[in-house]
Amino acid sequence: MVMDHVDYEGWADYILHLVEEHSPKEDTPDLHILELGCGTGLFTSELIAQTHAFISAADSSSQMLEWATKRLQPHEKRVSLHQLDFELGWDTFQSKRPVDVVILLYDCINYIRTEEGLRSLFDGVKSQMKEDSLFIFDQSTPSNSINNAAYFEDEGEQDGVSYTRKSAFDLDSRTHTTQFEIETPDGVFHESHVQRAWTRPEISHALDLAGFTLIAAYDGFSLDEAHDEAERIHWVLRKTA
Q: Which CATH number characterizes residue 120's domain?
A: 3.40.50.150
State pLDDT tens for residues 123-163. Answer: 999 999 988 899 999 999 999 999 998 888 888 887 778 88
Residue 224 and residue 174 share a domain:
no
Type and span of the H or E element at 125: helix 115-128
Residue 132 and residue 231 share a domain:
yes
Residue 91 and residue 24 share a domain:
yes
Q: How many residues would you count in the chain? A: 241
Phi, psi of 51 (to 5 degrees): -140, 175
Please count the structural domains in the chain: 2
Residue 153 and residue 215 share a domain:
no
The pLDDT value given to residue 2: 46
Residue 173 and residue 65 share a domain:
no
Supply the DSSP symbol for 60: S
Give the residue from 2, 21, 239, 6 showing the smallest Cα distance to 133.
239
| Beta partners for residue 155, in sequence order | 164
Give the residue from 133, 127, 88 showing the smallest Cα distance to 210.
127
Q: Give the dihedral of Cα atoms 29, 218, 6, 117; nearest 10 deg.
A: 90
CA angle 141, 232, 225 (to 5 degrees): 115
Residue 153 and residue 59 share a domain:
no
- How do strand 232-239 and strand 161-170 relate by DSSP bridges? unpaired
- Is the model's pLDDT at 165 over the cut of 50? yes
Query: How far is the C-alpha of 215 from the C-alpha of 186, rounded, in Å?
Result: 48
Residue-averaged pLDDT of the chain: 92
Give the residue from 14, 15, 68 showing the smallest Cα distance to 37.
68
Residue 116 and residue 148 share a domain:
no
Phi, psi of 160 (to 5 degrees): 80, 5
Spatial contact of 122 and 88, defined as CB atoms under 8 Å apart: no
Share of the chain above pLDDT 70, in %: 96
The pLDDT value given to residue 161: 81
The pLDDT value given to residue 146: 95
CATH no. for residue 190? Answer: 2.20.25.110
Domain extent for 74: 8-141+198-239
Phi, psi of 151 (to 5 degrees): -105, 15
Residue 158 and residue 129 share a domain:
no
State pLDDT tens for residues 83-127. Answer: 999 998 899 898 878 899 999 999 999 999 999 999 999 999 999
Query: How far is the C-alpha of 194 from the C-alpha of 168, rounded, in Å?
Result: 10
Q: Is residue 3 part of a domain?
A: no
